Amino acid sequence: MSVQIHTHADRGAAIKAVAQEIASLVRTKPNAVLGLATGATPIPLYQELVRMHREEGLSFAQVTSFNLDEYQGIPREHAESYWTFMHQIFFDHIDIDPSRINLPGSQVPVDDMTAHCATYEAKIVATGGIDYQILGIGRTGHIGFNEPGSPADCITREIHLDEITRQDAVPAFGGIDQVPTSAITMGCGTILAAKKIALMAFGEKKADIVRKALQEPITDLISASFLRNHPNAAFHLDPEAASVL
């Protein structure tokens, strides 16, 4: 049991490989449960899946999706919410049943937070668990928004965003004051319960954290390092992200 490392010829090849895995899963198991990520990394993956839907008849009609995370304190319709991102980039262009789309709420009242997160977690379990989880990796080594200090068995909960993560979101939000300070995220335990996991990392900026996640001791300071304990997890890299391994 060791994490697979695929260094592809370029990011396009990595995207194609992951898209093919998702397509063959959805073709053999039409009611597959997909764990989805946002951020820059998976945008071309969603574009490729939309292309496969349009040109190759790939149907998501019976698929259930769970997104990893959502910012807190902004309306769901905010341009930078993950609800908006997912609809604009993916859901609005495929045949997924809107009732099978799941994201954490973006304005969950403090008093409802515990129940909201527990319901999200329970719904994942009730659907039979995530068959295929897509991940990116943050500069803090986070998967989902499991910032440094998140234990391997943590579940869906509200988390305070690391300052590095907030800085990385400044260009999108237009200023640090506009960047939310917290989010709801699936936990490391939620993610590690997925049957198959594909982490994608592209570009030189990810090289150092990829090396730490794969080659330094497994630690809750880098939640991506926990993937090395998963029986079916793969890192899909381009040559730049793999350049210091």
Question: What is the binding site for ligand F6R (CB under 6 A)?
Answer: 37-41, 68-69, 136-138, 142-145
Q: How far apart are the first and last CA of the chain?
A: 19
Q: Given the complex with ligand F6R, which of 59 and 139 has the nearer CB atom?
A: 139
207 half-sphere exposure, CB direction, 13 A CA radius:
11
Minimum gap (Å) between residue 166 Cβ and ligand F6R: 11
Scanning the structure block, which residue is given the tokens 């010829």? 9
Nearer to ligand F6R, 164 or 218 (CB): 164
Choice between 37 and 96, CB closer to ligand F6R = 37
Picking from 229, 17, 227, 25, the residue whose alpha carbon sits closest to that of residue 137 is: 227
Q: Among residues 60, 62, 67, which one has the least CA distance to residue 86? A: 67
Question: Which residue number, 59 or 148, has a Cβ lying nearer to ligand F6R?
Answer: 148
CB of 72 to ligand F6R, least distance (A): 14
Collapsed DSSP state (helix, strand, coil) of residue 134: strand
Closer residue to ligand F6R, CB minimum distance, 37 or 154: 37
* Residue nearest ligand F6R, CB atom distance: 136
**Nearest distance, CB of residue 37 and ligand F6R, angstroms:** 4
Smallest gap from Cβ 32 to ligand F6R, in A, equals 19
Inter-axis angle of helices 11-28 and 43-56, to 10 degrees? 50
- Distance between CA atoms of 83 and 67, rounded to whole angstroms? 9
Closest distance of CB 212 from ligand F6R, Å: 15
| Cβ closest to ligand F6R, residue 38 vs residue 156 | 38
Provide, rounded to whole angstroms, the least separation between the CB of residue 204 and ligand F6R: 12
CB 106 within 8 A of CB 72: yes
Distance CA 137, CA 145 (A): 9
